[in-house]
Chain A
């Protein structure tokens, strides 16, 4: 039952291309496998969570901190809602087993399953009835933790769409965090922001020169740049910051700016529109990249260079220059991600303060199949997992959940993702291959 559809795509202003999309049907074993997995998730929700849930009803508090207009807290019948969610998930799984969803529909089904499971889980967590489940602050925390990840994955996207693997996001973030804290203290936090972006860009330039000019293996290069960043920022921290923290490592942090009108919307307003400048920049960057990648000359060329540099070169695109530009821009974004960790949150810089977030951003990029929206979603998922772990440690859940095991989940999910259990992941075809003319 291969479906054939025709779609008009505007690849560049004025250039409309007709794409014939042929949807290859999924193999029966794969269809049933995915369906069975969904059914298992549903069973976990309905049986395991439903059975172990406490007897109280769950109170939800949707208001985050700092909201002027609030919505009242409300209670839901605990066990009933959990089992309802589980049953819906099982039903979706059964439909998948019996007739299978289309490729695009399956993606939404996946998101729906995840959301339903989260609702069931949060309800379960609150069924002891001692505290209300603070959904508002959970979401605020999610966005806060996801912001550097989103920026980091956008940095990776810029590089990898154009054919340069960026494992050095971690190091670039570390440079950005350091520069943000240092210049944020000795000048102002705005200059700190600028410095973070510039230093991140320089780290990007380092990656670009070695990857593009000297054709060094890019995965290795990334690992080495990370080691270099860790060593250098650690060295400079000891040499500059450790002795004289007040005048070198105490930057003013950015305060949240409330957007008029939008910021007053209950729940959503305080979550999305009462944020620091870095978060707003993140919104802009994600939207711009998402739109530009598919609908601008730059985006078309970037994708062409990332998929088939030789063809791009043949039609007159300067492959190396475009790669340089994108990798350096990516570095700038990674620097901004680093700034989010210092002047965007705690202020101070500490040795190795990125603690692997650059790698998580990379995982989010791959989890999100090298698309801006996918990377955004995956970053939010990772942020949510960390935020949930903090939230659960404050809640008395019916069964104690070990926070370490919970923290493993995003990484396990990523392994499942790249193993193709949620559909095959394919990098840009020329990603990681140096382009040598001739």
Chain B
């Protein structure tokens, strides 16, 4: 796991992705110019894009593919359809009918749970739920995205969220501070908790070459056991000490609701938007962001150019951890977990965030929209459970399938016979354990 032992390989392999990114940018510009120059040309370009493996096209097709596979699952598990199958030869239309209704009901329920439900009392509740679920996904997704750009895998968002939530939660319930200051201190505490936990992996990578995938996975488990340990301590656990939950965060340190108290969406979503803008700015204009991208694209070239690769690794992990820490803050100071720390306060966000980042193709705003999409799917799974017999785990299958299709543009190309274009390709660099 040396950081520089296999130089020739790296330098050969990695500029490719950078080049394709450059090319895609250049191509995007030329397409724009062409689009401005005339209507005929525009139509041609749009058809060209639609037939090529442009990221947007691949994303849409991937979602469609995932929904088709999901539909098969829905039909296979649907009771009425199976009943109709028994007399398939007598009345085949019945089977198709039942199957159609099952699929329609399931996807409609997801839509109603996530976007708009005409039957619900509070019309905006689904959107609010979507934003609540999307917030930690966006923040943790940004954390994974930024790590990707530095050529690092942050599998440790779970642990970072847990440590952040534990520290922010502790400050929230144990410290007695005036309103306004309390929440700021708690947020900072959460950020520090996440940053330290990620920085451990960064330091280990920089100083010893220990692969961050392994160290962050191990740090996840350590964080889980550490929080479990805290939850047995009397100064942390909520009286009467029968359940593994912490005391409740003070009202002073809770995020205020954005649109009235009957909608759960709160200020943490604003933080997510700000964080997205920050990461976008950092990667586009920030000096540090340039260093991150340089190290991620080709660490040998970056080293030759006088950048310190190891200090970049450490500092990028600090920022990565801070972003995951914000996700933890949103989980504990927001309305998602009743303002109490538990060992599952992360809510599985850490691992979903990896898929979000992948769907976002390594860009800040891409991650933002991907987080919204996955947040919507998660919000929809509640309605799926409430109003249909389709198990809510369907949503998780859909999420995984979308990313599987996205991660393999070659597969989408193969299915839809798209032309290979320079805009396609994976945003993330291939790296082994030794990289």
* Binding stretch for chain A, among B44-52, B110-118, B217-225, B334-342: B217-225
- Assuming the contacts A431-B432, A432-B435, asked whether A213 and B410 have C-beta atoms less than 8 A apart, the reply is yes
* CB proximity of B203 to chain A, nearest CB, Å: 10
Docked-complex contact A363 and B410, CB < 8 angstroms: no
- Assuming the contacts A167-B213, A411-B222, asked whether A217 and B404 have C-beta atoms less than 8 A apart, the reply is no
* CB proximity of B9 to chain A, nearest CB, Å: 8
Residue B430 interfacial (CB < 8 Å): yes
Docked-complex contact B214 and A214, CB < 8 angstroms: no
- Assuming the contacts A224-B403, A356-B221, A424-B1, asked whether A232 and B211 have C-beta atoms less than 8 A apart, the reply is no
Residue B91 interfacial (CB < 8 Å): no
User: Which of A165, A227, A419, A424 has a CB less than 8 Å from the CB of B400?
Assistant: A227
Residue A359 interfacial (CB < 8 Å): yes
**Docked CA distance A160–B213 (Å):** 15
Docked-complex contact B352 and A227, CB < 8 angstroms: yes
Of B9, B232, B407, most buried by chain A (CB within 10 Å of CB) is B407
Q: B188 — which chain A residues lie within 8 A by C-beta?
A: none
Residue A22 interfacial (CB < 8 Å): no
Docked-complex contact B351 and A227, CB < 8 angstroms: yes
Residue B313 interfacial (CB < 8 Å): no
Q: A221 — which chain B residues lie within 8 A by C-beta?
A: 404, 407
Residue A109 interfacial (CB < 8 Å): no
**CB closest chain-B residue, reference A210:** B408
Docked-complex contact B225 and A425, CB < 8 angstroms: no
Docked-complex contact B208 and A223, CB < 8 angstroms: no
- Assuming the contacts A224-B407, A234-B393, A408-B225, asked whether A359 and B431 have C-beta atoms less than 8 A apart, the reply is no
* Chain B contacts with A in 385-435, Cβ cutoff 8 A: 390-401, 403-404, 407-411, 426, 428-435
Residue A25 interfacial (CB < 8 Å): no
Docked-complex contact B221 and A216, CB < 8 angstroms: no
Q: What band does the interface of chain A fall in when counting residues whose beta carbon is under 8 Å from B?
A: 35 or more
Docked-complex contact B222 and A214, CB < 8 angstroms: no
Residue B383 interfacial (CB < 8 Å): no
Docked-complex contact A432 and B433, CB < 8 angstroms: yes
* CB proximity of B18 to chain A, nearest CB, Å: 16
**Docked CA distance A225–B400 (Å):** 7
* Chain A contacts with B in 146-197, Cβ cutoff 8 A: 160, 165, 167
Docked-complex contact A239 and B399, CB < 8 angstroms: no
0/1 interface trace, chain A 401-437, chain B, CB 8 Å (1 if under) = 0101101100110110011100011110111111000
Main secondary structure of the interface of B (DSSP, over half): helix
Docked-complex contact A420 and B430, CB < 8 angstroms: no
**Docked CA distance A225–B354 (Å):** 12
- Assuming the contacts A231-B397, A405-B229, A426-B1, asked whether A240 and B354 have C-beta atoms less than 8 A apart, the reply is no
Q: A215 — which chain B residues lie within 8 A by C-beta?
A: 410, 430
Q: A362 — which chain B residues lie within 8 A by C-beta?
A: 214, 217
Docked-complex contact B232 and A420, CB < 8 angstroms: no
Residue A219 interfacial (CB < 8 Å): yes
- Assuming the contacts A223-B155, A408-B222, A414-B218, asked whether A432 and B396 have C-beta atoms less than 8 A apart, the reply is no
* CB proximity of B309 to chain A, nearest CB, Å: 18
Q: A74 — which chain B residues lie within 8 A by C-beta?
A: none
Docked-complex contact A238 and B391, CB < 8 angstroms: yes
**CB closest chain-B residue, reference A420:** B208
**Docked CA distance A280–B428 (Å):** 42
Residue A288 interfacial (CB < 8 Å): no
**Docked CA distance A405–B223 (Å):** 10
* CB proximity of A303 to chain B, nearest CB, Å: 15
**Docked CA distance A217–B428 (Å):** 7
Q: A167 — which chain B residues lie within 8 A by C-beta?
A: 213
Tally B residues with Cβ within 8 Å of A: 60
Q: A424 — which chain B residues lie within 8 A by C-beta?
A: 1, 209
Docked-complex contact B218 and A231, CB < 8 angstroms: no
User: Which of A235, A418, A432 has a CB less than 8 Å from the CB of B77?
Assistant: A235
Q: B434 — which chain A residues lie within 8 A by C-beta?
A: 426-427, 429, 431-432
**Docked CA distance A408–B226 (Å):** 8
Residue B27 interfacial (CB < 8 Å): no
- Assuming the contacts A219-B153, A404-B228, A407-B225, asked whether A238 and B351 have C-beta atoms less than 8 A apart, the reply is no
Q: B215 — which chain A residues lie within 8 A by C-beta?
A: 415, 418-419
**Docked CA distance A165–B434 (Å):** 11
Of A218, A240, A419, A431, most buried by chain B (CB within 10 Å of CB) is A419
Docked-complex contact B399 and A227, CB < 8 angstroms: yes
Q: B222 — which chain A residues lie within 8 A by C-beta?
A: 408, 411-412
0/1 interface trace, chain B 340-354, chain A, CB 8 Å (1 if under) = 000000000001101
0/1 interface trace, chain B 355-386, chain A, CB 8 Å (1 if under) = 10010000000000000000000000000000
* CB proximity of A169 to chain B, nearest CB, Å: 12
- Assuming the contacts A402-B232, A427-B433, asked whether A418 and B214 have C-beta atoms less than 8 A apart, the reply is yes
Of B6, B13, B397, most buried by chain A (CB within 10 Å of CB) is B397
* CB proximity of B425 to chain A, nearest CB, Å: 10
Q: B238 — which chain A residues lie within 8 A by C-beta?
A: none
Residue A228 interfacial (CB < 8 Å): yes
Residue A226 interfacial (CB < 8 Å): yes
Docked-complex contact B396 and A227, CB < 8 angstroms: yes
Residue A230 interfacial (CB < 8 Å): yes
Q: A198 — which chain B residues lie within 8 A by C-beta?
A: none
Docked-complex contact A405 and B225, CB < 8 angstroms: yes
0/1 interface trace, chain A 358-371, chain B, CB 8 Å (1 if under) = 01001100100000
Q: B410 — which chain A residues lie within 8 A by C-beta?
A: 213-215
- Assuming the contacts A223-B354, A427-B1, asked whether A235 and B433 have C-beta atoms less than 8 A apart, the reply is no
Residue A220 interfacial (CB < 8 Å): yes
Docked-complex contact B407 and A415, CB < 8 angstroms: no
**CB closest chain-B residue, reference A242:** B391
- Assuming the contacts A216-B426, A217-B426, A411-B221, asked whether A430 and B432 have C-beta atoms less than 8 A apart, the reply is yes
Docked-complex contact B432 and A433, CB < 8 angstroms: yes
Docked-complex contact B210 and A420, CB < 8 angstroms: yes
Q: A237 — which chain B residues lie within 8 A by C-beta?
A: 391, 393
Q: B210 — which chain A residues lie within 8 A by C-beta?
A: 415, 418-420
0/1 interface trace, chain A 116-158, chain B, CB 8 Å (1 if under) = 0000000000000000000000000000000000000000000
* Chain B contacts with A in 24-68, Cβ cutoff 8 A: none
Docked-complex contact B407 and A219, CB < 8 angstroms: no
Docked-complex contact A415 and B219, CB < 8 angstroms: yes
* 22 A–B contacts, CB within 8 A, in A order: A216-B407, A219-B153, A220-B428, A225-B404, A226-B351, A227-B355, A227-B403, A232-B400, A235-B73, A235-B391, A235-B394, A235-B396, A235-B397, A239-B76, A240-B77, A404-B232, A407-B225, A411-B221, A411-B222, A432-B431, A432-B432, A433-B13
Interface residues of chain A, those whose CB is within 8 Å of chain B, are: 160, 165, 167, 210, 213-221, 223-228, 230-232, 234-240, 351, 356, 359, 362-363, 366, 402, 404-405, 407-408, 411-412, 414-415, 418-420, 424-427, 429-434
In the A-B complex, list the 8 residue pairs whose CB atoms are closest, starting with the nearest. Answer: A432-B432, A231-B396, A238-B391, A239-B77, A234-B393, A427-B433, A228-B400, A231-B397
Interface residues of chain B, those whose CB is within 8 Å of chain A, are: 1, 6, 9, 13, 73, 76-77, 153, 155, 204, 208-211, 213-215, 217-219, 221-222, 225-226, 228-229, 232, 351-352, 354-355, 358, 390-401, 403-404, 407-411, 426, 428-435
**A217-B429, A218-B432, A228-B400 given. 17 additional CB < 8 A pairs?**
A165-B433, A219-B155, A223-B155, A224-B354, A224-B404, A225-B404, A235-B391, A238-B392, A239-B77, A411-B225, A415-B204, A415-B215, A418-B1, A419-B215, A426-B1, A429-B434, A433-B9
